[in-house]
Amino acid sequence: MSETSVVESRLREAGIVLPGAAAPVANYVGAVRSGRSLTVSGQLCLDGEGRLVARGRLGEHISPQEGREAAKACAINLLAQVKHAAGSLDRVVRVVRLGGFINAVPDFVDLPAVMNGASDLMVLAFGDAGRHARSTIGVASLPLGAAVEVEGLFEVDGDA
């Protein structure tokens, strides 16, 4: 990191270090810029070394607290993609939307508390500009058996 990023400094003070952006593994990419919108691919709950922090379903193998940590890991990976695509997290004008996909058994309904792990990270990073629209759903399965996947839409400044 050659420049001082206000947002990254704030994250580091909270003990959060961004990993490298996960490399594309097929014919898609981590993020696409169109105008001032940056659309980020769904990110799994992988840690900085590419390992799942939670594998399995909420309401079965994964506790709500583990799910919340998994959602936070997804959010950190979203920010890594934003930094890679936009050059710096300081170019984020607004977190527009998060979409949360929670791997859950049909009877598990406290999906919002799990998703808060991702939402809280955005507000930690960006303050009020991190407050976003969101949709949270329980899904039948996720890639690699991940417990949580989160996608994001960001408004960024400057030219594409």
- Which residues of this protein are in contact with a copy of itself, per CB under 8 A? 24-32, 34-37, 39-42, 57, 94-99, 101-102, 104-112, 115-116, 119-120, 122-123, 130-145, 149, 151, 153, 155
- Rounded to 10°, the helix 111-126/64-86 angle is 40
To the nearest whole angstrom, how small is the minimum distance from the Cβ of residue 2 to a copy of itself? Answer: 26
Q: Which phi-psi region, left, alpha or beta, contains residue 69 (left: φ > 0; alpha: ψ -120 to 50)?
A: alpha
Cα(55)–Cα(64) distance, integer angstroms: 13
Tell me the closest approach of the beta carbon of residue 1 to a copy of itself, in angstroms. Answer: 24
The two three-digit tokens of residue 105, written as one number = 């058994």
Phi-psi category of residue 98: left, alpha or beta, with phi > 0 → left and psi -120 to 50 → alpha: beta
Residue closer to a copy of itself, measured from CB, 3 or 107:
107
CB closer to a copy of itself, 90 vs 120:
120
Give the nearer residue to a copy of itself in terms of CB position, either 4 or 127: 127
What is the closest distance, in whole angstroms, from the C-beta atom of residue 4 to a copy of itself in the complex? Answer: 26
